[in-house]
Each structure stands twice: as C-alpha cells, then as structure tokens.
Amino acid sequence: MILGASWPKTVGPNQVDQFTENISIQKGNHSLKFGGEFLINKSDNDVTANTKGPLRFANLGTFFSGTPNQARITAGNLARSLEDQGIAFFAQDDWRVTPRLTINAGIRYELTTVFTESNN
C-alpha cells in the first residue's frame, strides 16, 4: 500500500510554436515542391510524484499500527523549464514520365536539438 505517490503531477508541453513554409512549382512534366519547418517546444514541468513524503506499508496490519516500512522525502526545487527546437527541410519532384508512369523522388532533413533548461 502506498500513500501520496501520484499527486500532484503536472507535465507539459505548455507551448509549441510552429513556423512552416511550402512552395510548389509546376514546370513541364515536373511538379517540384520545397519547404521547411521550425518548431519550438516549451515545457514547464513540476513533476512531484513520489516526492511529498509517501509512506509504504507492508500490509494492512502495519498500516493500522502506523508502522511504515519505507518513507521518502525530497528536498530542493523540482520545477524545470525545458525547451528544444526542431528544424526540417524537404525537396520533392513528381516527374510524370508518361500518362501512366510517375516517378516520385525527394529528400528530407530533420534535426531535433537536445533539451535545454532555462535555469541550468
């Protein structure tokens, strides 16, 4: 039996800013597409599960006698302000070789940065 192990628990993300741009060009029997995306993910976490002094009892008898076999307490500031970015670019060509044959070719690059914390 565990008391106080799962409340309160607050987890983000709080905000996702997304900037996207795509361009399409029709040139002869080629349909060219280009684009990119930039994401900013922000999360203010205050995960406090198992940090408010939960008590563990071996059984119901030890619970009623008030004899825990485990107690836990955490000190310090658990609040975190996390942020990471995502960047992506792509280029694509849909080439209509014949009315019954189209070749699709493209490339995409994606990068997701590591999390940073605003208070180190």
Relative to beta strand 15-27, strand 9-10 is unpaired
The alpha carbon of 101 is separated from its chain's Cα centroid by a whole number of angstroms, namely: 40
The pTM score is: 0.60
DSSP string covering 12-52, please?
A: ---EEEEEEEEEEEEETTEEEEEEEEEEEEEEEEEE-TT-S
With H, G, I as helix, E, B as strand and everything else as coil, classify residue 64. Answer: helix
pLDDT digits (tens, 9 = 90+) for 31-65: 999 999 999 998 877 666 556 677 889 999 998 99
Q: What is the largest CA-CA distance in the chain?
A: 84
Phi then psi for residue 117, to 5 deg, are -120, 130
- Provide the Cα torsion 52, 55, 60, 62; round to 10°: -150
pLDDT averaged over every residue in the chain: 84
Q: Write out the residue range of the structural domain in which residue 93 sits.
A: 2-117
Which of 83, 77, 79, 74 minimizes the C-alpha distance to 117? 83
pLDDT digits (tens, 9 = 90+) for 70-92: 887 777 777 778 899 999 999 99
Domain total of the chain = 1
